[in-house]
């Protein structure tokens, strides 16, 4: 996963840099490896309830062994991730964004938050063939016309 996404106009998740920051702020918070991998997995499965065993398998790289401490490891990583999100943006509702579904798992609750992919700093750019190339949330789009970002997730319009 790569690219940057802005959540509710204030939290920036930088998947390439493994960090989060406040929009317009000058600082950032580096995410430790396991919380970052948990975030990646939850983002890839956003709006779906994810079992701790599946999160563990993805973030730790082991199969779901059914051992109870997997749940504790995931719980600790989610707790650390929520803390890091709040370190970046103190009033960000991290507990609502990464919701606990008691007895089942966790869900990155994107549907209740305005999420917007951000362009790479070097995007858009002209190719030698005259096309406009834009890297939009890790997806490269080629357009014969100038491309502009629209305010909603995964929507690109031609002008």
Tens-place pLDDT, residues 25-62: 888 999 999 999 999 999 999 999 999 989 999 999 87
Tens digits of residue pLDDT in 53-85:
899 999 998 776 666 677 899 999 999 999 999
Quick one: which of 21, 19, 28 has its CA closest to 7? 21
Instruction: Give percent above pLDDT 90 in the chain.
Output: 52
Residue 130 is predicted with a pLDDT of 67
Tens digits of residue pLDDT in 125-141:
666 676 666 655 555 66
Residue 152 is predicted with a pLDDT of 37
Quick one: which of 88, 57, 87 has its CA closest to 73? 57
CB-based burial, 75-107: b 16+ in 10 Å, e otherwise: eebbebbbebbbebbeebbbeebbbeeeeebbb
CATH topology for 4-112 is: Arc Repressor Mutant, subunit A (1.10.10)
**Is pLDDT at 146 greater than 70 in this prediction?**
no
Tell me the C-alpha distance between 52 and 147, whole Å. Answer: 40
Q: What is the pTM of this model?
A: 0.74
Q: Where are the domains of the chain?
A: 4-112, 119-158
């Amino acid at each position: 996963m790569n690219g940057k996404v802005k959540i509710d106009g204030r939290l920036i998740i930088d998947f390439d840099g493994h960090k989060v920051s406040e929009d317009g702020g000058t600082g950032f918070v580096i995410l430790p490896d396991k919380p970052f991998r948990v975030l990646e997995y939850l983002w890839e499965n956003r709006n779906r309830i994810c079992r701790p065993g599946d999160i563990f398998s993805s973030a730790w790289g082991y199969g779901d062994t059914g051992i109870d401490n997997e749940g504790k490891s995931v719980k600790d990583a989610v707790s650390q991730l929520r803390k890091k999100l709040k370190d970046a943006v103190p009033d960000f509702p991290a507990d609502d964004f990464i919701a606990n579904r008691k007895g089942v798992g966790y869900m990155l609750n994107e549907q209740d938050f305005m999420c917007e992919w951000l362009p790479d700093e070097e995007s858009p750019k002209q190719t030698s063939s005259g096309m406009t190339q834009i890297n939009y949330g890790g997806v490269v789009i080629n357009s014969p016309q100038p491309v502009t970002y629209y305010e909603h997730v995964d929507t690109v319009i031609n002008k």
